[in-house]
Amino acid sequence: MTEHQHTPHHPGTAAALVERVGRRARATLLATAWLRAAAVVVAVVLLLGTLDYLFRLPRGVRLIHLAAMGYGAWVLGQRVILPAVRFRPKPAEIALRLERAAEGNRAAGWLASGVEFGHAPAQNSRNDLTAALAAHSTAQADAAAQALTGQRFLKRTGLVRAAALLTVVVLVAGGSTLSRPDLAMTGLARTLWPFGHAEWPKRTALVDATATLVHPIGEALPLRALLTRTTLPMGATEVVAVYRVFVDGKPGRNERVMLTPQHRLAERGNDSGELFERLIEPMVETTTDSACEIEYWFETDDNQTAPTRIQLEIRPRVERVMVRVEPPAYATSLHGSFLDVTSLPVVPDGGGIATVQPILAGSRVRVSLELNKPAALAGGSGESWSQPGERSLGYETITTERIRVEVVLVDADGLESADPLAVVLDVVRDAPAGVTVIEPAYDESVLATAVVELEAEGRDDFGMHWLTLDRQTARVPAHSESTTPEPAADPVQLGRTEAEPDEPPPTLTLTATLDLSTIGVRTGDEVWISAAGRDAFLTAPPGETDTRTIRSTVRRLRVIDETTFVDQLRGELAGVRRAAIEIDTEQAALHDTRTIDPATTADRQGAVTERLDAQRGAVDRLRQRIARNALDDETLRGMLADAAGLLGDATRASDKAANTLQHAAEDARDPRNTEDPAPAQNRVRENLETLIAMLDQGQDNWVARRTIESLLADQRALAAETEALGDRTMGQSRQQLSAEELTELERIAARQQDAAERARQALDSLNDRAESLARIDSAQADAMSRAARRGRQEQLDEQMRQAAAQLRENQTRAAAQGQQAATEALEQMLEDIDSAEASRDEALRRVLASVLESLESLITKQEHQIDSLARAQSEADLIALAQPMVALAGNTLGLLDELGPQRNLAAITSLVGEAAGAQERAVVSLREASIDSAAEAEDESLARLREARDEAERMDEAASDRENARARAELRKAYRALLEQQVALAADTQPWIGAESDRRTRAKVRGLGQRQAGVGESLADIRRSTAELAEASVFALAHRRLDAASAAATERLLAGEATASVARHQATIVRILQSLVHAMAEQKQNQRFTEQQSNGGGGGSGGGGETPVIPELSELLLLRAMQAEAMEWTRNLDESPERPADSELAELAELADLQHELAERAKELVEKLTQQQPGDAEIRP
């Protein structure tokens, strides 16, 4: 844009105009260049300073920036400043530019030429024309310049922009400088002189908050830092920990970990800020003596703390615990788990508890602790502690009670042990011995005939000194309102055992056998069994002696009558019957589900097996209880034996069914390969049905027997009352009796009349029960029928009614005779009922003999048939074998018919039926020429026949055992009866021993001789009627001695002489009879001994074998009893006063003969047992 300005004219205006415009143009150009250069420089410095402030550029980058700025300044000088400096335009060029820029183009053509001529005056004056033209041109140029004077020909836009740019840049830089002059100076210094030490102020500030000087090796170290200054929000700043481990001065590699912000403020001294933490686990492999340190520092993006070092040390700990125990002086020679310890290493458990147990109270205990480094107790040491070395501690005390010693260690650096160690000294006092009666294990109700095995045990930590086993009879006091039994006699010691003084064992046991029949107990009495003992503390020196005798808890044997005892047994059998019904129901359900889910059914069948076995155990316990109580009830014995056999067979069949089902479940893809479990399941049900029916039948038998027993007991009581009343009213008529006597007479008569009516009902009931049992148990039905017939033949109810009538008339003697006849009739009826068991076994053995013969024949034929099948070569051979198999099947079916519906043979019947079924399948297979099916069926037939034979043999053996048991019971009963007679006879003889001889004395003594002769005859009858006595050499010896002693006593008594030798012979008879009764009552031990003899040596078949009438153990017991008698006899001879030489010599000779006989019998018995014992088993008599 051109500006017009009027100025006064003066000469040389054109040249002056051109010169002036040129100067101004150059000045404008220079100003613009310098302004631009200055703006660029300031802007670049500001930019680089800002970048350095934001990013804290390292020195290297800033050096690059400085070099770049230098290069940029050079380029700027070359491209901007230097061209402006060099700007020198010619006047003509300026005039031409002015002509082009002049308004209205008024100076066009004149200004440039006039300026040109004006700058060359010499050349213009060469001629006049040139000079005139030059002057004219110059004048025109001046006129044009005059016209252009006042106009602006220069554009200042660039200058203004440069100035504005510089102004803006300067304002920005100046504002920054004014706001933070320190930052501006720092940025300028760092940008323009990177070699200096100018630093920006830190944006973050850190403080080390890890207040730890020593840290345990192997544990996490918490590193903590406080961020006291930051420009970021809480938790946004990154704080890094750098650490390295020094081992013996050698540094490891640097590890960097990021600290975790805790988003909370914390304080450290005077500093506070945001808390950062991190757990590190420095890996150190060092020994106790190595010097370990960890060096660390914290960093942010623009700051870091100074390095800090923490010492790493191993915590103190207990390396080993040693305990030394010195027991009290009195216990040093005894044995016990706490006495053999002299130096014992103790290992702490997972909870840091080292337990030393047991330690006897009063022992001196020294605990030694071996440490891993020098350390001491954290809480200081008490009087009991010592520190024998830098790395050891000691504790010593005398124990009186349980002690718990807490051990917390601390080292010189203040480090404590990681886990406190507790040393527990478990102190036990020398408690009294524990004395227990372990057999019987609980109070028990028994019969007065029971033979009870007793066992006591004494236990003590040191050892037992002695142990005794005692009994005491207790009964309710007569005429007392109390029903609590009280001691009726002093305790009687049954046995005693003592230990060796030098080595008392920790346990003493003592066994004894108590025969209640020999101690005179009756119903309602109690026999208290207790044990007593002392431990080895008795050997302590004076001042430490404990003289306590420890007694066990009393076991009470309550004597009950036979009726109550049987009632208890019947109650338990009722439980067995209920269980059998439940098991039968379960078995029926399993039979229906056997093919649906074999696996589940197999498990349930296994449960049935367990329940059956449990019931068999219950029955076996009842049998043992009967044997222990010597219950003379063959019917009940037989029923329990049969029940045990049925349950045993059912258990085996159930187990077989369970195995079959299990195999079926395992081979479910091909059921044809598995056996059908149905026959075994059916066998279980058949046995259970037989058992249930038998128990029902036994209930009928028991009711019948109980009714007669009740009548018999009442009749005996009535007879006793009648006898007592008759003694008081003898010779008096009814009218002479007092009112009280009449009342008592009427009461007895009424009771007798009631007994008569009950007898009539009992006879009718016996007939009814016999009829109902006829199809189930013919032997029992026959027994009841015989008992009913005997009662009617003896006119039982009529005799009782007559006795009642005679009582009303006070005819007590006649009434007593009728009562005695009724009592004898009732006793005979009981014997008739009890004979059913013997009859049943006799009939059973006859049937079994025939069955066994038939089974042997069938087995032989079946084995021959299997051999023929194995030799068959063609289809024709197989078809030909069908006809013999048909005949075999027919014979098997014939045996099945022979067995019939007898319940006691149900197991055999089931097996034979299965064999017949298998034979029929074999016939079909043979006719179809299927050799595999035929072979499988015939093998099954043979297996079932053999099982049936085994079952028949087992039943025959059981029946034989029952017969032998009855024979033993009868023999024991006979011995007991003779024992009672002999005891009474000895008691009657005792007053006449040494009495003055006169006619009356001799007559009385001869009467005693006749009674003694009767005893001898009874002994001879027993020997003649019991053939087994001749085979039992010890029993034969006992009978010879009985005969000799009875004959000698009889001879003297019949001669009217009641000398001391008679008393000795009678005492011998009593002792031998007691030994015989005791020996025959050892049913439980007999059974155990027989089983050991049958199974010992490993060479037997595993069967039990028959128990003879006189078992070997009975002979051993009798032999022991007679040996004890010989020892007692020897002791008496040695301690007795002087006697006539002839008498003493005779006794010595007799004693020598007895000892010789005993030695011979013992030798024979050992040889007998050795022959029965297979293998090389040792027999210890």
- Closest C-alpha among 599, 592, 593, 584 to residue 654: 584
Q: What are phi and psi of 10, to 5 degrees?
A: -150, 165
Give pLDDT, residue 534.
84
Nearby residues of 213 by Cβ (< 8 Å), 6 or more positions away:
310, 311
Give pLDDT, residue 675.
67
Q: Strands 555-559 and 444-446: what pairing?
A: parallel
Tell me the average confidence (pLDDT) per consecutive run of 10 residues in the chain, 1181 residues long: 38 66 80 87 88 83 88 86 80 69 52 60 56 64 61 73 86 84 82 82 87 87 91 90 90 91 89 91 71 91 89 86 78 52 56 71 84 81 76 85 83 82 79 85 87 89 84 82 80 87 81 86 88 70 55 90 82 87 85 67 87 90 85 73 83 85 68 66 82 73 76 85 81 78 86 88 81 68 82 86 85 84 84 72 81 90 88 82 87 82 73 86 85 87 90 84 78 84 85 79 84 86 79 79 85 83 84 81 49 43 58 76 74 62 64 73 71 48 38
Give me 800's structure tokens.
């009782």
Q: What is the pTM of this model?
A: 0.49
Give pLDDT, residue 503.
73
Distance CA 917, CA 888 (A): 12
Cα→Cα distances 156→26, 29, 91, 159, 765, Å: 12, 9, 21, 5, 157
Residue position matching structure tokens 């030489």:
1141
- Closest C-alpha among 493, 496, 440, 494 to residue 467: 496
Residue position matching structure tokens 């008599």:
1181
Give pLDDT, residue 222.
93
Q: DSSP label at 253?
A: -
User: Looking at beta carbons, which pairs linking 183-192 to residues 24 or more positions away fall under 8 Å?
Assistant: 183/53, 184/49, 187/49, 187/50, 187/52, 187/53, 188/45, 188/49, 190/49, 190/52, 190/62, 191/45, 191/48, 191/49, 191/52, 191/62, 191/65, 191/66, 191/69, 192/45, 192/66
- Closest C-alpha among 1079, 1056, 1069, 1048 to residue 987: 1069
Give pLDDT, residue 314.
87
Cis previous bond, 11, omega within 30 = no
Give pLDDT, residue 528.
92
Give pLDDT, residue 10.
44
| N- to C-terminal Cα separation, the chain | 155
**Residue 970, Cβ neighbours under 10 Å: how many?**
17
Distance CA 130, CA 133 (A): 5
Give me 840's structure tokens.
């049943």
